[in-house]
A and B are shown apart, each in its own frame.
Chain A
Amino acid sequence: MSETVSAVHVAPGELTPPSANQGLLEVFRRRYLLKLLVRREISARYQGSFLGLMWSYINPLSQFFLYWFVMGYILNLHKNVENFAVHIFAGLIVVHFFTETFAAGTRSIVRNKALVKKMAMPREMFPVASMLVSLYHVGPQLVILVIACLFYGWMPDPGGVLAVLLALGIIMLLGTALALLFAAANVFFRDFGSAVGILTHFVRFGVPMIYPYSLVDERFGGHTTAYLSNPIADAVLLMQRAFWIGTTQHPAEMARTNLPPNLFQLGALAVVACFVLLLIGQMVFTRLQNRIPERLQ
């Protein structure tokens, strides 16, 4: 047995529990790692497919044409809703942002199990990275929308900018919150991953995207509180306020009939509610994640 005399090495700091779990705050403290994971996600989301990243645009565009044709042409909403294409697309951008975040975020931990099982790191990284990748795809879609709107004589206004920021903020918070909850739950029962597909259907039909808000108001006889308590519906309405309203002939009249009167108040409330949901998501995630590494096969 060799008795080597060791050099003195002084480890810094205090004795601490080694689990690198400091939640979402830690995620944003380690931005370099987050950047690498986001980059990886972007290249991996459509890995092994020929069209690759183009799927991120084919997907929403095909939905757009489907709704445009079925709702607009067959159900004849083109007649009733001015610039119906803009109406659909403005909503679709945030709806697609949400469904992508939700779906990819839910799978994120299982998909990265090679890392989760072997490395100590804040696991919130993965759902957050999924959200950021989805956000990254929103950019080009917004550009297309703005160009289309300009053709209709739309001009940007400060209220519209605020509306877009609120809408994106709502989806970022809500998407991350649900991605956290479902990503953790999906480790224990893959059923949660399958449930996401169904939930996204509800989302698509539960927002004023392929039908105007005026119809909802009419059907419910003004009792729209339940409908409007859906943050995604609020986000879609904010998008309509920012883009679609400005493209119509009589914006003031359109806003009166097709937007709730207290839209910005609703938006702000939705941001707060989604933030609270995110805190809850973090709490549940922290509880569940104790057992995540051992459950990943």
Chain B
Amino acid sequence: MTASIVAENVSKTFTLRYHRTFKQMTVAMVKGHDVSDDFKALDDVSFTIEQGESIGLMGLNGSGKSTMLKLINGIMRPDGGTVLTRGRIAGLIATGAGFHPQLTGRENVYLNAAILGMSEAETRRKFDEIVDFADIGRHLDAPVGNYSSGMFARLGFSVAIHVDSDIFLADEVLAVGDRPFKRKCMEKMEEIRTSGRTLLYVSHAAGSVRKMCDRVIVLEKGRVGFDGDVDEGIRYLKYDDDNTENEPDEDDTEDMDDDLGADI
């Protein structure tokens, strides 16, 4: 077994800024209030994920799941501890893709693929496949700023899934998108899983986590609350008391109330 993702005592501190302008800062300082307020979105998080494992990363809203994925992806760097990864990483973080709102879907596919490390030839080769999977029709040549959040997510997911990555991050990808698309996504992720690539799947849907993952890590206010067996993890979260187990697809609707197009 080779390690794919290693997190060691990772912490990440964010600043909640109450006072932004010069005037606000001076007033706050005169009154003796805190000028800024830090809090730990991740606090001493450690785990090792082996190559080929598929992990369900779970936890309540604001528990630090997206932040953890950003550190793994390399968008952010930890303030303490280390994150190490092996191989190419692709995926979607916090539902949205890194698309430029003013560019068309087509241009964004090329740009996004280039950022993920694909060459021009590679992108051209896979372009039709990407577009077919996203299935957004004529909107391909319209600016993505005008897309519905579902279409936006579809195209983003489609690009990410077609990159030859060693690690795939899926952060609430199923939160938007209609049911046929969800099914297609699940199939693709199943493919990733069986091909032996590492999968890190964030979801609130107990059913789909059960189906996709062989280990669950639960984050609680930025700390690892649980790391181990899937069923135990779901029980730990008390997500299993709703009787949706026989209908895993139905489960996904739970995701709907989550931050749809939110950026965090």
Tell me the A residues contacting B by CB distance below 8 Å: 1-4, 6-21, 30, 32-33, 36-37, 40, 44, 47, 112, 114-115, 117-121, 290, 293-294
Interface residues in B115-171 (C-beta closer than 8 Å to A): 115-116, 119-120, 166-167
CA distance A293 to B71 in the complex (A): 11
B77 within 8 A of A: yes
Select B100's contact among A12, A32, A112, beta carbons within 8 Å. A112
CA distance A47 to B100 in the complex (A): 13
Q: How many A-B residue pairs have CB under 8 A?
A: 122
B193 within 8 A of A: yes
Q: Which residue of B lies closest to A7 (CB)?
A: B196
Contacting residues, chain A, for B6 (C-beta < 8 A): 15
CA distance A13 to B4 in the complex (A): 11
Known: A32-B114, A32-B119, A293-B75. Contact between A3 and B52, CB under 8 A? no
B210 within 8 A of A: yes
Known: A118-B93, A294-B14. Contact between A11 and B111, CB under 8 A? no
Q: Is the CB of A44 within 8 A of B102?
A: yes
Contacting residues, chain B, for A7 (C-beta < 8 A): 194-196
Q: Is the CB of A17 within 8 A of B211?
A: no
Select B195's contact among A9, A47, A120, A121, beta carbons within 8 Å. A9
CA distance A221 to B100 in the complex (A): 54
Contacting residues, chain A, for B4 (C-beta < 8 A): 11
CA distance A50 to B94 in the complex (A): 36
Q: Is the CB of B84 within 8 A of A121?
A: no
Known: A4-B194, A10-B51, A17-B83. Contact between A114 and B99, CB under 8 A? yes
CA distance A114 to B94 in the complex (A): 13
Contacting residues, chain B, for A117 (C-beta < 8 A): 75, 98, 263
**Closest 9 pairs between A and B when the two form their complex, measured CB to CB:** A9-B196, A118-B98, A11-B87, A18-B74, A120-B74, A119-B98, A11-B166, A15-B84, A19-B74
Q: Is the CB of A40 within 8 A of B111?
A: yes
Contacting residues, chain B, for A120 (C-beta < 8 A): 73-75, 89, 115
Q: Is the CB of B98 within 8 A of A115?
A: yes
Select B115's contact among A9, A33, A290, beta carbons within 8 Å. A33
Q: Is the CB of B84 within 8 A of A16?
A: yes
13 interchain pairs (CB within 8 A)? A1-B214, A7-B194, A8-B196, A16-B85, A16-B86, A18-B89, A21-B74, A40-B107, A114-B100, A115-B99, A119-B115, A290-B76, A293-B70
Contacting residues, chain A, for B14 (C-beta < 8 A): 294
Q: Which of B72, B100, B230 has the most CB of A within 10 A?
A: B100
Interface residues in B63-81 (C-beta closer than 8 Å to A): 70-77
Q: Is the CB of B101 within 8 A of A294?
A: no
Contacting residues, chain A, for B246 (C-beta < 8 A): none
Q: Which residue of A lies closest to B22 (CB)?
A: A191
B82 within 8 A of A: yes
B197 within 8 A of A: yes
Known: A115-B98, A117-B75, A120-B73. Contact between A18 and B83, CB under 8 A? yes
Select A11's contact among B51, B77, B102, B107, beta carbons within 8 Å. B51
Contacting residues, chain A, for B112 (C-beta < 8 A): 119
Q: Which residue of B lies closest to A2 (CB)?
A: B211
CA distance A3 to B96 in the complex (A): 30
Q: Is the CB of A18 within 8 A of B85?
A: yes
A sample of 11 more A-B contacts (CB under 8 A), given A8-B196, A17-B74, A121-B115, is A6-B194, A6-B196, A9-B52, A10-B2, A11-B2, A11-B4, A12-B166, A16-B86, A114-B98, A119-B116, A294-B76
Select B114's contact among A4, A33, A118, beta carbons within 8 Å. A33
Q: Is the CB of B86 within 8 A of A14?
A: yes
Known: A32-B114, A115-B98. Contact between A20 and B85, CB under 8 A? no
* A7 → chain B closest CB, angstroms: 4
Q: Is the CB of B86 within 8 A of A119?
A: no
B29 within 8 A of A: no
Contacting residues, chain B, for A17 (C-beta < 8 A): 74, 77, 82-85
